[in-house]
Chain A
Amino acid sequence: MTKVKICGLKEEQHVKAAERADAIGFVFAPSKRQVTIEQATELAKHIPVDTDKIGVFVNASLEQIEDAIARVPLTMVQLHGDEPDELVGAIQVPVIQAFSIRTKEDADQLKKSIADYVLVDAPGTDYRGGSGKVFDWSLLDGADIDPSRLIVAGGLKPENVHAAIMQTTPYMVDVSSGVETDGRKDTAKIQEFIKQVKDDSMEQTIEKVGFFGKYGGQFVPETLMKAVKELEDAYNEVKEDPEFQKEYHHYLSEYVGREQPLTFAQRMTESLGGPKIYLKREDLNHTGAHKVNNAIGQALLAMRMGKRKIVAETGAGQHGVATATICALFDLECVIFMGEEDIKRQQLNVFRMKLLGARVESVTKGSATLKDAVNEALRYWVSNVEDTHYLIGSALGPHPFPTMVRDFQSVIGEETKRQILEKEGRLPDAILACVGGGSNAIGMFYPFIKDKDVQLIGVEAAGQGVDTDRHAATLTKGTEGVLHGAMMKLLQDDAGQVQEAHSISAGLDYPGIGPEHAYLADIGRVEYRSITDKEALDAVISMSRLEGIIPALESAHAIAEAEKQAKTMTADQILVICVSGRGDKDMATYAEKLEGLS
């Protein structure tokens, strides 16, 4: 999330207006915005404790700077003069070094700075320390600056800050004249600027409180609030913890077998006669699908929280198997709720879970599928919340689950991005993934969200057709509502009763959709289409015979849509399909539905 600095404040009312900012700047150098150390000290009393207080200096001495740090007190220092590296190195708080950018060569200078952060600004005309002119952000392209060190300033205002963030993805944006009227700070503009950054849709800053636009939230019974909040805190902690990340990636590589190839599908490419087609091979993961990426992440987190009992729901059994597997690995107690219908459809996975030592509870209520399994898992969690972690299997549920599951699945998209750049030197034109609750899709899409030229397509299950009442096409046909702890899109009737979904694929048989997908659909960043049972089965055959890969039924939905999509594309284009899982678990269905295949 991009941070906001409001700079050059002189009046208490403006400091207060900047309450939601992440940093406040006081200018100690000669300027019309100059303040004395005494004034800054007074103003600093009105700044929230976790907001950075940054002093701006031009060629001041170390003594002057240290004096200001101690008295205001300042938490950071920003240097706009020709300060030597010895001075920069001697300052004990983090330092921002400012550079005026006119040319590409100027941009190259940035990399040489030893400061913690570099601030880029348009060349000053009237005085040092920023002119309020906009510099050409594209000068930063290719300068290879670590965005986590980058602060962008120079002519920013509420109207253009969104574009600046999109283009430069900086650590922080810095504004001064852009929130002034006639040379004086303007309360309304300060607030509007902060709002523009904080509510910037593509930045998804809103996830801070668990919302993606209007979707998400924590709509759970009070009994669960404590657990959900604790999970939120625990997750925020491990997200930034290199040790945790190391452990997680250790298991991904040593146990799951990552990274998975991005296989060029030569015969499929030739047969469709369109773009080059690549397959992201989640089917090669241990346990046969992407689900295990998330199961490992959450199990490690649960153990950090001191919880050694796991409850999970499963649809296809894929998440149940992944969870049971990880619980065996880490010696955790494991209960899996599974709809009676799904137990029938996925016998082998039921046996796998049992073999792995998990207890499988059959759910006979409602439609006896995934939705009802989630209900039972939630109830179980409500009753056993003190020592049990709910290891949800998709990007669903109350915050922080959708964010957390996305992050644990983002390894799919991150690898894909690296691999396609290695193989093709550029990003793909289109990426497709199937959408049940949405975890493999969001994990694949998330690292590409800001790459606007990459078309992202999510594929839902149309079952027997979206115009029948037997489908699971939530985004195509659903409406807003609250289910399983989140505001999302739902298949529901006029009275707000959630309807049963239908798909030949147990993993897509869910009447809701993860909140982030609902949001991405609303803003048009991801397009959602749907594929019928029959089309998916046909794709199973074609993929098996062209590439020697028997896909899971869920994944076959993405493949079927990719076949259609490829017909609209040209040979110089690239298309990536997320093959979320392998077809082993669906062999009984294939044998039955494809009987007489020759």
Chain B
Amino acid sequence: MKRLEQLKNSGNKAFVAYIMAGDGGLDRLKEQVQYLQGAGVTAIEIGIPFSDPVADGPTIEAAGNRALKHGVTLQKVLEEMKSWTFQVEIPLLVMTYLNPVLKFGVERFASECSKAGVSAVIIPDLPYEHKELVQPHIDKEGIKLIQLVTLTTTDVRLADILSGAEGFVYAVTVKGITGSRDEMSEDVKAFMRKVREKSPVPVYAGFGISKSSHVDMLRDDVDGFIVGSAIVEAFNDNRIQEIEPLISAVTATHSV
């Protein structure tokens, strides 16, 4: 994850791609990761399907349900990742709701993630207040717990969350759930600036980023972008190439 810091210092923007593990069958995961790596993304967030994904919008929920129909579980995803022999050159993250982790066992989750080459985890329903449930275990394995901040995060909380932030900060751009959006509200820019000013680690904008107009609008106020629903949808519709312009819009070196 050091690389994210270096990228920030070089002034280039990060592109983090979210995919739903096992959407279309678990054997597709490997090719998707390889494809995205080849397309130049900075890091990949691998989503674990969950029966009750309350932070997600319809696109990711539907992808999760398809994956569940294929019998995909946290354990199977980690096993699959462990079996990979190709060169993984970018950080891989796991994004999962808390319950599958608890059922799997937090300690075991940490050690299996480590064996699977996971550098960080994101648990959207584990707020800062309860992070001790997971943090000590993944600390031991050198895995980072990515924190989310949102437009509704109060300044006091923001300071607390940022003080313990590691890897990068996931700054949510909308008051809502994941999913593509047409508009980005103006106060999002101000929010991103505020977070970035205070954050010891890079700040990436996520939720609702689906087009280069979003990227253009926020480019100067964040260190990177997280794109989920748009990629999940593109993979599902077999038109992932259409995402490439968005990737290059983010990662291309910009002269300011």
Contacts and interface: CB of A to CB of B under 8 A. Distances in A.
Contacts of A102: none
A218 interface: yes
Contact of B176 (A225, A382, A481): A382
A464 B54 CA distance: 29
A386 interface: yes
B51 interface: yes
B75 A495 contact: yes
B115 interface: no
A223 interface: yes
Contacts, number: 117
A225 B125 contact: no
A264 interface: no
Interface in A202-258: 217-227, 229
Interface in B157-182: 157, 172, 175-177
A498 B127 contact: no
Interface residues of A, number: 38
B152 interface: yes
B176 A366 contact: no
B73 A495 contact: yes
B104 A496 contact: yes
Interface string A462-503: 000000000000000001111111000010101111110000
A482 B133 CA distance: 12
Interface in A277-323: none
Using C-beta atoms within 8 Å of the partner chain, give the interface range for chain B.
35 or more
B120 to A, nearest CB: 16
Interface stretch (B29-37, B95-103, B222-230, B246-254): B95-103
A366 B52 contact: yes
Contacts of A226: 152-154, 157
Contact of A219 (B73, B104, B125, B176): B125
A496 B55 contact: no
Contact of A222 (B99, B172, B176): B172
B52 A498 contact: yes
A375 interface: yes
A497 B100 contact: yes
B126 interface: yes
Given A226-B157, A378-B54, A382-B176, 8 more contacts: A219-B125, A223-B175, A382-B55, A385-B152, A386-B175, A481-B103, A483-B99, A495-B74
26 contacts: A220-B125, A221-B124, A221-B125, A222-B127, A222-B128, A223-B152, A226-B153, A227-B152, A366-B51, A379-B177, A382-B177, A383-B177, A384-B175, A386-B175, A483-B99, A484-B54, A485-B125, A494-B103, A495-B75, A496-B74, A496-B99, A496-B101, A496-B102, A497-B50, A497-B68, A497-B100
